Amino acid sequence: MSQALHDAMMASTAWPFEEARKLLARLEKHPETSPVLFETGYGPSGLPHIGTFGEVARTAMVRHAFECLAPGVETHLIAFSDDMDGMRKIPPNLPNQEMLKAHIGKPLSRVPDPFGTHESYAAHNNARLRAFLDEFGFAYEFMSSTATYASGAFDAALLRMIAVYDEVMAIILPTLGPERRATYSPFLPVSPKTGRVLQVPLLGRDAAAGTILFADEDGTRTELPVTGGHVKCQWKADWALRWFALGVDYEMAGKDLIDSVTLSSKIVRALGGTPPEGFNYELFLDDNGEKISKTRGNGLTIEEWLRYASPESLALFMYQAPRKAKRLYFDVIPRAVDDYLQFLKAYRGQDGAEAIRNPVWHIHAGHPPAEDVPLTFALLLNLVSASNSEDRSVLWGFIRRYDKTLSPEKHPLLDRLVDYAITYFHDFVKPAKSFRPPTDKERAALADLKDRFATLADETPDADGEAIQAVVYEVGKAHGFEPLRDWFSALYEVLLGQSQGPRFGSFVALYGLGETVALLERALAGGLAAPARS
C-alpha cells in the first residue's frame, strides 16, 4: 500500500475508517492488545433476521478498514450466541406451540427444536445464522454461551464478578424499580431440578468459595458454584462478563441498547477491564414503521432477501447510513440492487481517496468485481412484465438482441439478476398489477406515440434509449401534459399496470420498438385493461 493511500484512509470520512481510527487509538494506549478482538452478539430466541446479519457485515467492514490502517496487527471476529438465555416467551410464528410451552424458562440450548431438524431450538437458529455467514464468506469464530460457560472459559471472570458483587449491584440497582430491585442478582442459577434459568434473589453468597445460595422452585435451599455452567449472568452483567473474559475490543449495538452499553461498560471497569469501542446504529423498521423483532417475525429474513437479490445488495443496504432508521421490507430490494450496480459501475473510474469512499470497496474488502452490468434491475422487472414471460431463455433473447455482446456465460452477475427479477416479479409485481384504460387525452397521445415509434423503427431500428426518450418527451409536450411526470405515469399505468417504472426510453430500447408498438396497439384496443367505466 502506498503512503498516499494510507494517508487517504487516515483522513477518510467513510464510517468504517472513522471506527477503525478509534481502534487504532485504543491500540496505541494498550499496545499489548493482541489480537484485536471484534465481537457480534446474537440472541437465538427467534429466527435470525437481517438485522443480525447487518451487525456482522458492518463489523466486518470496520475490521477490514482497521487491518488496512494497521497492517500486520492480528484481528479476530467472534459471532457469539447467547443460547444459554432462558426462553421467556414463545414466538407466535413457530410450529409445535404446545410442546414448547413445557420448556418455558429453560436455556434455549435445552429447548427441543420445534422444526425437528436439530438437537435444540438454539441449535436450529444458530445453524440458520451460520449458514448465511458462511455463504457470504465472513471469517469468524462461532461461540455458544452454553458451551463457553460449561467449558470453564468464563470461570475466572465469574469468580471476579462475585468478588466485586457489591460494586456491580451499586451500578445496576439505581436503574431498577423498587420491586425488581428487591429480587435482583447478577447471577441467574440454573435449577438442578427443573433445568430452568431462575430469576430469584440470592439468600447468600460465598466469594471465597465461589458459590451462591438461593431457593429453588420447590423452595429447597440450594447452593451452587458460579462456575462450570451452573449459573449464567443477568443480561447487562453477562455482556460485561463476556467483554472482560474474552478481551473484546470492538462491538457495535443497536440504538435501543445505549443504556445497556453504558451500564455494561461500568461493570467491566468494576471487574478491572476496559470496555470495547463501538457505536450505536439505528434500528430497522418494518413496512408499518415498527421495530423489527425476531420474536414477532416482522420484517425480512435473510433467506427472503436472498430469494430476490444478491448478498452484495444486502451488504450495501447495511453499509448506507447505519445511524439512520430505515424501512426494511420487500419494496426496498429493487432500489438496493440498482444502487449497488451504480456504485459498482462508478468504481471502475475511481482510485485512491475516491475509491475507498465507494461502498463497494468496503462491501468487497477492497476488491470489487470488474463485471459490467448495463441493465438495471428495474428494467429487467419491466421486461419480465411487458414480455409476459417468466422464461429466462426468452428474456435473454431480448437482452441479446439489445446487445449481442451480452451472454449468461460472460456476464454471470447479470444472469443472476435475470433469475432474481423473475422471482421478484412473480411474487410481488404480478399480483399487484392493475392496468387501467387511457383517458381520451392519453389515448390520443398513445396513438401519436405508436405512430412515431413505428416510423422510428423503420428509419432507425437501432435507436438507443436516449433517442427513444426524446420522442416520448416530444409526444408528452405536444399533447399538453404538464407536468410531464403525468405522461410517464400514464405510460406505466396503462402499459405496465403499475404506478412507476424505469426510464421509459431505456425500457423500449431493451424491449424493442416493434414490440412496444404492438403493446401500444393492444392498449388502444382495450387488450390490457378492463373497459373504462361510463
Of 208, 163, 217, the residue nearest 187 (C-alpha): 163
Owner of C-alpha cell 485504543 = 26
Handedness of CA 179, 182, 185, 188 (dihedral sign): negative
pLDDT at residue 296, as a whole number = 61
Q: pLDDT tens digits for 15-35?
A: 999 999 999 999 999 887 779
- pLDDT range class, residue 531, cuts 50, 70, 90: very low
Which of 458, 490, 460 is closest to 472 using CA atoms?
490
213: enclosing H helix or E strand: strand 211-215
List the chain domain ranges.
Answer: 3-175+235-281, 378-524
This prediction's pTM? 0.90
pLDDT of 377-397, one tens digit each?
999 999 999 998 899 999 999
For the cut 90, the answer to whether the pLDDT of residue 454 exceeds it is yes
- Mean residue pLDDT of the chain comes to 93
Position 344 scores a pLDDT of 96
Q: Are strands 75-81 and 36-42 parallel, antiparallel or unpaired?
A: parallel
| Cα gap 380→402, rounded to integer Å | 12
Higher-pLDDT residue of 147 and 325 is 147
Using pLDDT thresholds of 50, 70 and 90, give the confidence band for residue 530. Answer: very low
Say which residue the cell 462491538 belongs to: 251
Q: Nine-digit cell at 385?
A: 412484465
Query: Has residue 289 got a pLDDT over 90?
Result: no
Burial class, 105, CB count within 10 angstroms (exposed 0-12 / middle 13-18 / buried 19+): middle
Domain 378-524 CATH (choose: 3.20.20.100, 2.60.40.10, 3.40.30.10, 1.10.10.350): 1.10.10.350
d(CA 432, CA 278): 42
3-175+235-281 CATH pick, 3.40.50.620, 3.20.20.70, 1.20.120.1200, 3.10.129.10: 3.40.50.620
Which grid coordinates belong to 329?
421490507
Tell me the pLDDT band of 297, cut-offs 50, 70 and 90: low
pLDDT in the model for residue 298: 63
Q: Give the mean pLDDT of 275-298.
A: 79
Burial of 55 (0-12, 13-18, 19+ CB in 10 A): buried
Q: What is the signed CA dihedral for 155, 158, 160, 165, rounded to 10 degrees? A: -160
| Set of cell numbers at residue 328 | 426494511
pLDDT at position 45: 87
Of residues 425, 368, 435, 373, the one with CA closest to residue 399: 373
Q: What is the pLDDT of residues 314-342, one digit of tens each?
A: 999 999 999 998 888 899 999 999 999 99
Nearest in space to 138 (alpha carbons), one of 71, 72, 57, 73: 57
**Banded pLDDT at 529 (limits 50, 70, 90):** low
User: What count of other Cβ atoms lies within 10 Å of the Cβ of residue 97?
Assistant: 11
What average pLDDT does this structure show over 3-20? 96
Half-sphere exposure of 301 (CA within 13 A, CB side): 15
Query: Starting at the edge strand that comes first in sequence, how are the strands of the sheet with 141-144 ordered?
Result: 36-42, 75-81, 141-144
- Whether residue 477 is predicted with pLDDT greater than 50 in this model: the reply is yes
Cell of 17: 475508517
Tell me how many degrees the CA angle 402-414-385 measures, rounded to the nearest 5: 65
Specify the range with the lowest mean pLDDT, choosing from 257-271, 282-296, 369-383. 282-296
Range scoring the smallest mean pLDDT among 5-19, 97-111, 124-138, 222-236: 124-138
Q: What is the largest CA-CA distance in the chain?
A: 94
Q: Kindly state the average pLDDT of the residues 159-163.
A: 98
Over residues 409-419, the pLDDT tens digits come to 999 999 999 99
- Strands of 163-285, DSSP E: 187-189, 204-206, 211-215, 221-225, 231-233, 253-254, 280-281, 284-285
Percent of the chain scoring above 70 in pLDDT: 97
Range 481-504 average pLDDT: 92
- For residue 99, which phi and psi values (nearest 5 degrees)? -60, -40
The pLDDT of residue 99: 96
